[in-house]
Structure 1
Amino acid sequence: MRRNRLALPILILVAALFLAACSVSLPQGASGYIALMPFWDEEQGIQGVQPLEGWDEDTRLVQAVLPAGSQEAVAQLLAETALTALPESTGTYTGKAFTWDLYTFESRLEGAPVDSVHFDLAMTETESGTVPRTYIVMLLSLPDHYQASPELYDSVFTHVVYALEPME
């Protein structure tokens, strides 16, 4: 169980470190579509879509499932940020398998060499027998890059959230 408690904070920190080390890959104001390809992770038991490799060096995408309820998942996320609570949800989104709660915010990440990271977060909780499972999709960007690339939300985040589902 301890390994599972560390999974989300480690994913977030690794994503933030990659963001800090990268240069801008798209010119400011550039637009276009981003090609998606099938994604599956047998260890986590999830499948969906993800951008082709090399799609954007300044943005990280996290798709994960935690064997915990949403309150515990939120606690893990908050422990790695400067937030004491998640902001109010920006709405819900109905995907192929789940209805997701959506959040958008910026925060400092503990241990990250950047001042702030922009988060688009989708989260949903399910029951698998008696064990709750929380599915998470996070799109993390440097705030300036996110503002310069508004297509990230529509071209990547919403498609990834829509497609994420348990493997059969």
Structure 2
Amino acid sequence: MRTHNPVELVPYDSQWPQAFRHIRDKLLALLPQVLSIDHIGSTSIPGMIAKPLIDIDIVLPGLEHIEDATRMLLAEGYEPRGNRYDDEVWAFLSRGSVPAERVYLCPAGNGTHRNRLAFRDYLIAHPQTAADYVALKRRLAAEFRMDGDRYTAHKRDFVDAVVARALAGDG
């Protein structure tokens, strides 16, 4: 069943990096086995409009750590959102926090995680590409205001092209 939640984009909030650090510290205390906890998504890019949601990748040493980490997140009230991207990435949502948190468990060496960091870092380093992404997001949010799945799907080509440039070392 397709959810019909409005696509809500808000201006960049200078408190997002601080919110991430607070969440990271909490997650490190819960999950001492993590290799890294990375702020990803639009809230990690200074000046970027975004859904008011902190996206975080939690990198674990391997798949064998996913089950224990899942138990910890569930005990903390995170809602399981399933396996995403067919790439050994498990999503969880914490609606109760402000801003909301969406965390992803990823094993070390995960391609989705690598691509997310490449996208984030490329947009931070290339303001014109970031501005193009803002324009795309605004257009898609207007077009698919009540369909977050299609909003996300229609960003895919842009994101894939930026990731390809970033991984190729272009720019």
Do they superpose with TM above 0.5?
no
Higher helix share: 2
**TM-score normalised by the shorter chain: which range applies?**
0.3 to 0.5
